[in-house]
Amino acid sequence: MNNNVTTMSDYERMRLVILGGPGVGKSSIIKRFLTNTYTSKYRSTIEDLYNREYDLGHMTLKVDILDTAGDMQFPAMRRLCIATAHAFLLVYAVTSSPSLDCIKQCFEEIREQRGDFQEIPIVIAGNKLDLTSTHREIPIEDVSEWVYCELPKLRVKVLECSAKDDINIKEIFRTFLTLSRILPRETDEQGGLKRRSSAYVNKGGRRNASPALDKEKPGPSDNKDTLPKPRSRSLIRRASRKTKQQLRDAQSGAEECNVS
């Protein structure tokens, strides 16, 4: 295939990379969104890749969600994740001040590696909102001040969520569509993602439940009760300069958040 030819499938693919410190709930946010489930058991993540296809009416969006390690033991893997991302979800815990420092470090890595960082959709999510009545260390005002006052103009949104109580989880993923101009900002609560297929990848081999957000459409027959084997990371390695240029072209002209 000619690398200079932009195909529709390339344009419709979004690779979302999730970064943050250990124990902030990155995997819990993904599980709540994809399967509407939650577990309090903690399992350290090295790297898990999930994928979905969504019918947006005017297009089919292929979403790859990459859950990364919370520590810094795999710097080469981390650099590759940052280099190939179309969007970032930076997760901290509202109950842990060091976790905010960690996503600040993550952002600095993005800024150093990606010359187009101002064009990349970024959502900064403070998880564990369910614990704020008894233990809050980070006011959302502090995070907003850092994002909107200390940083350059970004395509970014700050919000708080709870994977345990399912608060603002769907809003996180809708925000990426509006920041990317894939969906208009006025999309109502019932609009947005309608799942087209049910590909779900997790090293744990758990059963796949339909997420509450998605309205599944008939697709190719598959066993919805059994998860496919984990896919290799070759999907991420196929990213190229062409992909980055397509991202810039697709996002050009989109609104950037105004710095207060």
116 domain-assigned? yes
Distance in angstroms (rounded) separating the CA atoms of residues 247 and 116: 9
Report the residue count for the chain. 260
DSSP 8-state secondary structure symbol assigned to residue 60: E
99 domain-assigned? yes
3 domain-assigned? no
187 domain-assigned? yes
How would residue 245 be classed by pLDDT, with cut points 50, 70 and 90? Answer: low
The model's pLDDT over 6-39, given as tens digits with 9 standing for 90+, comes to 333 444 788 999 999 999 999 999 999 999 999 8
Q: What is the pLDDT of residue 166?
A: 97
Distance in angstroms (rounded) separating the CA atoms of residues 144 and 160: 11
129 domain-assigned? yes
55 domain-assigned? yes
User: What's the domain count of the chain?
Assistant: 1
Q: Which of 117, 107, 78 is nearest to 248 (CA)?
A: 117
Distance in angstroms (rounded) separating the CA atoms of residues 199 and 201: 7
The model's pLDDT over 121-170, given as tens digits with 9 standing for 90+, comes to 999 999 999 999 889 999 999 999 999 988 878 999 999 999 999 999 99
We report the CATH number of the domain holding residue 84 as: 3.40.50.300
Distance in angstroms (rounded) separating the CA atoms of residues 183 and 84: 22
81 domain-assigned? yes
**Percent of residues, the chain, with pLDDT higher than 90:** 45
Q: What range does the domain containing 121 cover?
A: 8-251
pTM of the complete model: 0.69
